[in-house]
Each structure stands twice: as structure tokens, then as C-alpha cells.
Amino acid sequence: MSEKIKPSKKIKPQTLKGFRDFLPAPMLVRERLMQTAREVYRSFGFTPIDTPALEYSEILLGKGGDETDKQLFRFQDQGDRDVAMRFDLTIPFARYAAAHLQELGTPFRRYHIGTVWRAEKPQKGRYREFVQCDFDTIGTKANAADIETLMVIHELLTRIGFDRFTIRVNNRMVLNGLLNRLGATDRAVAILRALDKLLKLGRDAVVAEMTQQAGVSAAQADEILRFAELKGDADSLLTEAERFVAGDAAGEEGIARLRELVSVCAAAGIPAERLAIDLSIARGLDYYTGTIYETFLGDLPGIGSVCSGGRYDNLAELFTSQPLPGVGASLGLDRLLAAMEELGFVDQIPSPAHVLIVVMSERLLTQYFRLARDLRAAGLAVEVFADNKPLGKQLQYADRKRIPWAVIAGDEEADRGRWQLKNLSSGEQRELATSELAGEILAGTRIAD
Amino acid sequence: MSEKIKPSKKIKPQTLKGFRDFLPAPMLVRERLMQTAREVYRSFGFTPIDTPALEYSEILLGKGGDETDKQLFRFQDQGDRDVAMRFDLTIPFARYAAAHLQELGTPFRRYHIGTVWRAEKPQKGRYREFVQCDFDTIGTKANAADIETLMVIHELLTRIGFDRFTIRVNNRMVLNGLLNRLGATDRAVAILRALDKLLKLGRDAVVAEMTQQAGVSAAQADEILRFAELKGDADSLLTEAERFVAGDAAGEEGIARLRELVSVCAAAGIPAERLAIDLSIARGLDYYTGTIYETFLGDLPGIGSVCSGGRYDNLAELFTSQPLPGVGASLGLDRLLAAMEELGFVDQIPSPAHVLIVVMSERLLTQYFRLARDLRAAGLAVEVFADNKPLGKQLQYADRKRIPWAVIAGDEEADRGRWQLKNLSSGEQRELATSELAGEILAGTRIAD
């Protein structure tokens, strides 16, 4: 392969299939979402970590199924090491925990906002590079951590600006308890696989699959489905569910943990309509072992869960013999952003600047920069236009960038310390003294966090 | 290669050579640095963008020298595309600008905080994965943009907390003007290569290299060195330098641009001791064409420049025939962090929490979570301990995490709405009512941004 090219031949400025450039407007929203997530995680005492984008392939291949293996960006590096790009933040965290646990101690709560890569077939809303925002509490089995996980999810969605959403919660112990009572624990995988299709295929198809492929009786399938379809407010639903698992210790413990979660969350101020018990959700077949979370937007449930997670028995068993139970969830940043765009929650503003200082005379650069400094000190983002172009061009620029204010002064005005402040949406213009500008602009501007 | 492993055989939880895990304490500092950089960039009207970690290899190979090519993490992807991980943010930005310029318009100012990868030989302070924080203004030749670049660098360092630092500035046009006057423009590369060694090898060795390898006369070498070694305050230095380039238009323009930069910066409040003209710096051989910046810490100059950049004539010539002049710089996040650690500027605090709420009774979970919510609403970061362990263990945990306050209440106290507030550095403890806690803690806590 020859890389030498003639300077005159231009290279096509394309990105790889499934990869994206981020333009300023959506990137500003992305940064705001990530910053909100950081602030929420920190406010609950979660601490940030980071791990490399590249790992030894054996680390990443250890747990993933065949599907994951095929999606790995994997290669030999310069030292002939077999390496791959991380495809999630969970396995790197497991390796990290095993490597540093001595130093970190338990319980340990971390968040990790990072890019991951999967060579999936690109499709609408699916990319080969995306950001995950995970948080986990490890080293404890206490239900307090499960309850707090739900509170973090609630706070995330609320702080991002959502009002109508539901966090659906289940506990795998309850379903396990029922299967145990039915003597069907050995067929759990096939049963759960069928159950997962309930929404898509409907009751009859699921019963058929359970009896034909999972080898349970029609009566058993019916019982499982009556259980999964229990509806109602959390208290009465749990009371009914308890009958299905009566006598099974794990099942009863699952019910008790859900009950405590519901009552503590209610008492701590989480509105009842935002929390729903849903006994049908399982989230994959064998990873989660306790509480499970999925979060749906009231205005856009079809987009799927925007924040999901659960409790697991042992995070890092591939790397250490020390058992590490934990609970956590992951905010689906890209899915959330797509939802916000679809719902019109996102102003497409391509500049963070509140004010453009128009350059009317190169002689005045000092005055322009001084004014910019003073306005910044007052908390405003200020752009001094980079060229001495005609006024109309500069105002057009501000308009295109959705900058709300322009400050204009030529030699004569600037020498008198006077400025024209122009509101670029209304077109209104007023003459003000230097000392009046910041106050006037601040009074008419919503400053984002 | 077989990836199947027995569950009993543990995988060694190691990272690749030259790659790092970030523990909580340094990661908190890193996040603070990146957030400060974002805030400063935005306050000057720079807008964020992002580009993929992976690009077609031809994009990245287009400009880099042989050295860069060897350092690329490059491979065939699943679709047999020749791809590579980005090794800087400049070439991706050039591709990005060429692809989106129609939509973006000029001037365009962007910042980009992103990870880059180079298969360099790992050594102290050098890693194969590191973060760059670039900012650039493209589509303008105006000196206002060069001046503002310096102001951004100054604001970055100041906001991060540095007081003693110097931004060294030069303009390639001045050096070019001198070489032009000496009739040595065709030997510029060899001359600059020799000149770059001035600090390391000393004057005599540089003169020898210039006469023997760059083919200039002893008198010419002497003149170049007298020029490069000019010292003094900016005004007198520029007056002296002007004599060396008198009659050369480019050289005189370079002097004029530096002079304007110095005077506008002084008038806009940049302290004189933080800005120095240094005619010896060239920063690489052919990329930069105008103003050049390097930034040294007063307390740790040996660590090298922590923020460098310059003006270039044409960012994206590999990808588009539209000329894109610009100016920008890059904050060396990892180098700065290393410097801050060496200077003891960094408290190694592994948790963002201000308060640990001790769990004395599972019955009180609701009260603990309610109190946590109230304290969070007051702006505090609050961790509720995740387990019901003995009090001593929980306080030990807070101590290890450097959490400054603990709030303690058993059944009897909580029922009366009273809490013990313990200052974990002084050991002092007071009983307070729920409503008094937030104010008392806030009064004694420095809340980071």
C-alpha cells in the first residue's frame, strides 16, 4: 500500500461507516448532559475513574458471548500484542476493581463516562462509537445501595429536565423464587427467553414457546404469565406476587427488598408515578441476580430504556477470587440525546457566546478586549469578532451562531465610553455606558450552568 | 488462538504497556482541569466539537512524517478497511473543517478535548494514550485572533490556579525576514534545526552546525545567534530586532504584529512579567507560519511548555482547496497535572463527598435518605454509607476517603430529629437539629466548582 500522495490530489474528508463528527450545537448539549451526570453522581458520593481504550484482548474476550467477540475492534499492536478496543465499561471496571481493590477498599462507588466501540451493523440511532455513563456501588449486598441506585436514576432524569418518566423495577430473586417453586429452575434460561418476547409476540405465542421449547406444562406457563402480567400500584402488586413465591426464601427476600425500596423511595420524596414494579423485565439471562432497573420516557416510550442496570453477585470473578457483589446502572447518553431532539427539548444553538463584540475599527482592539474581559468577569461568554468585516456581515455571523446580543462601537462612541447594545432577536438597540452593559445583558440572558 | 478459559483460571488484571488506569483522586483533578478548560474556552466563544477515535488511515497518514506513521495504532477492520486511531486532534480537525465548512462558516472557533493514541516508547511522563485540549480560530488572518489566543492561554493558566508563569511568544515571519535578508531562506530548515539546539548544546556548537551543515558563513551564523539571543523588555527587544529585518516586508510585518500583541495585552490587563518575546523559539520546522506560543511554569520550567501553539497558513490543504488560515494552541493536560502534583498543588482526595451519613440502624434508612436529599439540595455532596457496619468502620472509611464530615444518629436521636455532626479532621462533635446541619457544614466547607 502506498501512502505517498501528490499535494494537488485532495483526500476525501470522510468518516468511517458508523462513526460521527459532532457539530457544535449537538456537542454543546452532549457536554451539558455529561456535566449534569457528573454533578449528580458526585452529589451521591460517586467518584470518577478512567481506564484505557485499548486492553489485552483476553481481558475483553473473557466474558462476552460470541456476538461481542465478532464486534470487537481487535488487532496486533507494534509489540505483537493481541489488543482490542473496549466495547463496554463493565469489563474494564471488573479488571480495574480486581487490580486496585486493595487500595480502594469497599464499599466502592465509581462513575465512568467513556467512549466504547462495537463493530455493529450501523442503523438509525446505532453507531460503532458511543459514550456510556456508568455508575456502580460494589462491595456490598445492602438494599440501601439498590435504593440509592434508583434515587440516582431519578435525580439524573429530573436534573436533565424530564418530568414524565417511569423507572420500572423488578428483582430477579422473585422470578427465581417462582421458578423454584414450580420446579423449573433448570429451564430458567429458556423460560426467560420466551418471557422476554411477551410485549412483541403476545401471550399465546409465549405460552406456546414455553410449553414446546422450555418444557413446562400449560398450567405452569399460565402461572408464570399471570405472575409476569400482574399490574397495579406497587403495594397491592407485591402482595399478590408474594403468593406466587410463598415458601421460597429467595423469592420472599426479593419481595421484601422491593417492598423496602418502594416505601423508602416514597418517603424520600420520589413521586409514586415515576416508580413502577414490573415483574416481567429480566434484562438478559444470567448477568443480573437481584434488583433490575429500566427507565422509560413518558413522551417517548418507544425509544426504549434510557437508563438501565441492576444488581449482580460477582463483578470481577474472571480476575479475582474475592467476591464483589454490587449494583449499578448506565445512562444511555446517545439514546437520551436522540429522544431530546425528537421531543424538541434541544435548542440547536451552535455557540456558547452570549455577546458578540463587533469590530468596527482595528484601533479599538484594546477597548474591545477590555470590555470582553469585564463582561466575562460578570459571567458572560463573549466573542470578539475575529476580522474587521462590514457590520452587516458581523451581525449575520452572530445571527447564524444564535448569539443573542451584539455590542457595537466605532471610534467616536468608544472614545466617549458609549456602546450600542443590540438585541439580535428583537432588533432593539440602545446606547449604554461601559458600566451599564453587563447588568443590562445579564438581565435579559438565561445563563446555562 | 483459543479464548476459552476455565472459570477457575483467573485472568491477570493488567493494562497494556504505556496505558493507565486513573484512580479516583487524580481523576477528580483531571475532571476539574477539563471542566475549567471548557469554561474558559466557552467564555471566549469557542464551541466544542468531537471527531471519531478511528479514521481511515489515509486521512491520518496524509500529513504526518515517518515518525508519526510508525506510532499509529493501525489495522484492518471487519470490513477490510485500513483504519487507525487518531494521534492528534489537528488532522481530524482539518478533515472536519473541510467536511463541514459550508455549514459552519468562517471565522470558526472550536475547542476539542479528546483522547489520542501514539505507540511511542513509554517513559516517565510519556504515555501511549493521553488527552489533548486544543482550541483554534480558523478562517481569519487578523492579528486580533492571535492576540486572543494569548489571552485564552493566560486565562487558562490563571483559572487553573497558577500565578507564576510566562507565555513566550515569537513570530516566524521575523525569523524568515532575517533569513531572507541574509539570502539564506533556502537553508531555513537546517538553520532552524541547529537553532532549536541552542539551549541544549550552547552557542558554539550551534554556530559549528550552522556553518558546517547549513552552509552559512560564520558572520551570518553570528548574526542569527545575536538575533535569537536578544533579551530585554518587549519594547526594546522588538526595536532591536527590527534592525535585523529592516527592509524585509514579511519581517517588518512580524515585528508589527508582535508589537500590537504586546501593547493590546498590556492594556487589557495581562501582567508584563507573564508575557515574553523569545526570538529563538520556532516549534517545529514547517507547520507554523506566524505567531508562536510556548508557556512555562515559573516554579517548574524544566517540565517544558504546558500550552503551545501558533498561527498557520492553511489548516486543511490535504482535504480542500479552500485556504483556511488559523491560529490556536493546545493545553498539555497530562504535563500540567504532573506539574501540579510535583508542586503539591493537588490534594489527593479520593471522594467528592463532603458528608458521610453513617448508617446506625436499617430502620432509619428513610431518615438518612431524606437528610441526604436535603443536604444535596443545599449544594453538598452526600454519601449514605452502603452497609450497616460498626460505627468505627464507617468513620475509618470516611477518613480513608478524606470525607470531611460525618453525620451520626441512632434510633433514639433520629426520632427526636437530632444528629451528631462530627468534623473528621478535628474530631469535634456537636448535636444539631436537622434544619441546622446544612448551614453548619457549608460554613466549614470549601465547595469546589
pLDDT per position as a tens digit, B384-419: 998 889 999 999 999 999 999 999 998 888 888 899
Q: What integer pLDDT is reported at residue A372 of this predicted model?
A: 96
pLDDT value for B8: 60
Query: In the prediction, which pLDDT does A421 show?
Result: 97
Instruction: Determine what percent of chain B is predicted with pLDDT higher than 90.
Output: 79
Which pLDDT does position B9 carry in this prediction? 81
- CB spacing of B385 vs A95 below 8 angstroms: no
Confidence tier at A293 by pLDDT (50, 70, 90): very high
Span of B116-125, B206-215, B277-286 with lowest mean pLDDT: B277-286
- Residue A226, SS3 per DSSP: helix
Q: Is the distance from CB of A435 to CB of A387 less than 8 angstroms?
A: no
pLDDT at B2 over 80: no
CA atoms within 13 A on the CB side of A438: 14
What is the mean predicted confidence (pLDDT) over A314-333? 93
Residue B311 CA: distances (Å) to CA of A437, B146, B176, B231: 33, 7, 14, 23
The rounded mean pLDDT for chain B is 92
CA distance B395 to chain A (A): 13
Q: What is the pLDDT at residue B131?
A: 95
Q: What's the whole-number mean pLDDT along residues B124-139?
A: 93
Nearest CB partner across the interface for B16, out of A38, A55, A362: A55
Facing residue for B268 by CB, picked from A77, A267, A366 = A366
- Please provide the DSSP assignment of A12-51 as one string: P-PPPTT--PBPHHHHHHHHHHHHHHHHHHHHTT-EE-B-
Distance CA B210, CA B356 (A): 66
Q: β-strands A165-171, A291-297: how paired?
A: antiparallel
Contact A52 B98 (CB under 8 A): no
* CA of B297 vs chain A CAs: smallest distance (Å): 23
Instruction: Find the CB nearest B144 among A50, A260, A365.
Output: A365
> Which positions in chain B touch A75 (Cβ < 8 Å)?
73, 75-76
The DSSP symbol for A129 reads E
Residue B57 burial class via C-beta count within 10 angstroms: exposed 0-12, middle 13-18, buried 19 and up: buried
3-state secondary structure of A233: coil
Tell me the pLDDT tens digit for each residue of B331-364.
999 889 989 989 988 888 999 999 999 999 888 9
How far separated are the first and last CA of chain B, in Å rounded?
Answer: 50
Q: Do A369 and B268 touch (CB under 8 A)?
A: yes
Residue of B nearest to A113 (CA): B31
pLDDT confidence tier of residue B296, bands split at 50, 70 and 90: very high
Q: Residue A123: what pLDDT?
A: 81
- Which band of pLDDT confidence, cut at 50, 70 and 90, is reported for residue A325? very high
Collect all residues of chain A within an 8 Å Cβ-Cβ radius of residue B3: 57-58, 61-62, 69
Neighboring chain B residues of A387 at a CB cutoff of 8 Å = 107, 140, 142, 144
Mean predicted confidence (pLDDT) in A214-231? 92
Nearest chain A residue to B97 by CA: give it: A13
**pLDDT at position B285, please?**
58
| Residues whose CB falls within 8 Å of the CB of residue A194, separated by 6 or more in sequence, listed in order | A206, A209, A210, A213, A214
Of A119-128, A257-266, A281-290, B198-207, highest mean pLDDT: A257-266
Instruction: Reply yes or no on whether the pLDDT at B23 is more than 70.
Output: yes
Q: What is residue A286's predicted lDDT score, i.e. its pLDDT?
A: 64
For residue A388, the model assigns a pLDDT of 82
Percent of chain B topping pLDDT 70: 96
pLDDT band at A8 (very low <50, low <70, confident <90, very high): low
Of A4, A5, A23, which to mutate for an interface test with B (greatest number of B Cβ within 10 Å)? A23
Flag if B27 and A10 touch (Cβ within 8 Å): no
Q: Which of A61, A137, A366 has the CB atom closest to B3's CB atom?
A: A61
Chain A hits for B75, Cβ within 8 Å: 73, 75-76
Query: Which residues of B are less than 8 Å from A321 in CB distance?
Result: 10
What is the pLDDT confidence band of residue B298, given thresholds at 50, 70 and 90?
very high
Q: How far is CA A45 from CA A160, B24, B445, in A?
A: 19, 11, 15
B40: closest chain A residue by CA: A381
pLDDT (mean) for B365-393: 94
Confidence of residue B3 (pLDDT cuts 50, 70, 90): very low
Count contacts between A and B (CB, < 8 Å).
322
The interface pTM score, or ipTM, of the predicted complex is 0.93
The pLDDT of residue A281 is: 86
pLDDT over threshold 80, residue B425: yes
Residue B345 confidence (pLDDT): 84
Average model confidence (pLDDT) across chain A:
92
pLDDT of residue A4: 44
A74: helix, coil or strand?
A: strand
DSSP string across A273-329: GGEEE-TT---SSSS--SEEEEEEETT-GGG--SEEEEEES-TTTTT-SS---EEEE
pLDDT at A7: 52
- Cβ within 8 Å, pair A151-B269: no
Shortest alpha-carbon distance between residue A3 and chain B (Å) = 7
